[in-house]
Structure 1
Amino acid sequence: MAGPGAPQRYRRIQALVAARLAQQVLQVWRELMNPAKVDASWPAVRAALMPLVRQAREQSAILAESSYLDARQEAGVDDDDFTPKGPLPLLVERLESSLDVTGPVEFKKAIAAGKTPQQAMDAAAVRLVGSTQYLALEGGRQVMQRSIDTDDQATGWARVTDADPCAWCAMLASRGPVYKSAQTAGDPRKGGDRYHDHCGCQAWPAFTNDEPFIGIAEQLYDDWLRETRGRGGKHAVNAFRRWWESEGRAAYTAPERP
């Protein structure tokens, strides 16, 4: 896994975990959910979804643990008995609440907004896939972040995006390597460890103070400086977002190389 292309390979493998989960979630939703009897059919749907999310979360965490150790070894700092930190437990209440809100509640909201039952099913499916993927990939993301925070050899991390990030993720990735000792006060791009539903980003550990930028991050850094020149705070964020949505994003959507 380690090597120059390791961060992107790691991100793509995590994306496969998310894609597989999406297929499973959609299959359960379409086969067990009855739009004519939402409240009656939902308990069976939720019961089928919960182990799928937990299994994918465990897979994501295992991938992160092995990849973190590979990155350490590649950096030449595997000379101690450091063990990556596991993810925080996924509480039953949190999982159930997330499924409820993005499943039947979303379906009923769509119906109330005038959608047909099929349109409501589709709208809820999108929300449900996004929320389940978030909880699953959180397993690996927490392993990376908690390990970086507690590893004396780690200097920080970089945010690795896919080839088509949203404006928010592109902005965060433009910071490049984020060092644990870095001062973020006044930088509107702080909070680089935040993610959202349908987010394809991952964190990758850094072990030196001169880490190279990963993927499109270096170009994004130049774009950030150019588009936000003379602006600060939310004005800088809004300027970058406007540029990204009007013309910037199109420059970064070329197919990724294997």
Structure 2
Amino acid sequence: MPQRELSRLLDDHRNVQARISAGVSAQALAAWSRVSPTSLTTSAGAWLALVLSVIRRERARSHQVAASFYRLHRALEIGYTLPPPTGGPTADTVTLGDLREDWAQYTDTPRTPTPDDAEAVQVDDFTWPAADTTAQDAAARTSLVVTGPVQADREIGRVSDLQERERLDSADFLDELETMMGDAGVTAGGAADREALRGGRELIRDVSQVDSRVIGWARVTDGNPCAWCAMLASRGAVYRTREGAGIKGRTGRNLPPVGNPEDLQKYHSMCHCQTIPVYSRAAFVPESSAQYARDWSRATRGLAGAEARAAWRRHIDAQRRERRTA
């Protein structure tokens, strides 16, 4: 199994998706500077329309990136791939080189030809599920409104209640208003970041749920995950069924409490984790996930439930503080 290439592919996919979402977040935050607390409804409406158009465009790009990643990842893992998601006539085979070339267009790095580029990969018969863009738009709109204009309006109302003991044009009030608007812009930017990634994340989720060769999923984090994301990654593969994964009799003792594949699909704002399909018990999972599993065992030894989760949170928070200091 080409573990080095798989490791690089997982890193590149996560990084490409993170660049997409970070760009959307930056645009959302920059546009928020034009939202006025004195004409919130009008100015926030214009902001919302602009950011939604950016999210739609970049969500489609995230979708395309994930499709290219899925086809190459599947080929490297099991020697079978899927047809292009664009439809039309499909050949029975495609070369590894063609799949690598397709993926390279998204990484912005030159690709060095390899000896096995000419190796033929069988293309399975498959119909790609259609993205529910209407539901994605609705989710994006709700998320942006709640984290941006609604939060700003609530805070404006709170600080305006102070007018009896403080003039509304005082420096302190204006400073607080500026801080409050800035905070709302940051949270809305985080929501825009997450919504841009919905395109790729939902493609991998939807495709892998109907891909008959997939037996489970695993969470892949960045280099500085929160405790929740690190816990999901530490679990390794979460399988559709115990029997399908060939793990009869396994008790799960002292393993992180992640048994439902749907848990792997939960993402918070500014989270750049990805969930990848697993095709066999021998599937490649990053060493960082194995390290988190070892850390979990040590950090939670003798504990269970809420106590184990609290100990794990303290462990991960300490690691993140050390990285910031370094």
TM-score, normalised to structure 1's length?
0.87
Counterpart in the other structure of 1:128: 188
Counterpart in the other structure of 1:178: 238
| AA of the residue aligned to 2:13 | Y
Counterpart in the other structure of 1:248: 319
Counterpart in the other structure of 1:45: 47
CA distance in 2, matches of 1:184, 1:193: 24
| AA of the residue aligned to 2:125 | D
Please tell me whether residue 188 in structure 1 is matched to residue 257 in structure 2: yes
Counterpart in the other structure of 1:231: 303
Aligned identity (percent) is: 33
* Unaligned 5+ runs, structure 1: none
**1:162-173 aligned within 5 A:** 162-173=222-233
CA distance in 1, matches of 2:40, 2:209: 43
- Structure 2 residue aligned with 1:28, among 24, 31, 36? 31
CA distance in 2, matches of 1:93, 1:192: 22
| AA of the residue aligned to 1:19 | A
Counterpart in the other structure of 1:150: 210
CA pair 90-195 structure 1, distance change in 2 beyond 3 A:
farther
Q: CA deviation at 1:231?
A: 2.1
Q: CA deviation at 1:254?
A: 10
CA contact (8 A) 2:37 2:156 kept: no
C-alpha distance after superposition, 1:186-245 (max 9, x if no partner): 952332221111111011222221223314111100001111122222322122112222
* Unaligned 5+ runs, structure 2: 82-121, 160-174, 243-249
Please tell me whether residue 61 in structure 1 is matched to residue 49 in structure 2: no
CA contact (8 A) 1:22 1:133 kept: yes
Structure (1 or 2) with the larger CA radius of gyration: 2
CA distance in 2, matches of 1:192, 1:97: 22
CA contact (8 A) 2:6 2:284 kept: no
CA distance in 2, matches of 1:26, 1:126: 6
Q: CA deviation at 1:99?
A: 2.0
CA distance in 2, matches of 1:160, 1:23: 24
CA distance in 2, matches of 1:193, 1:43: 30
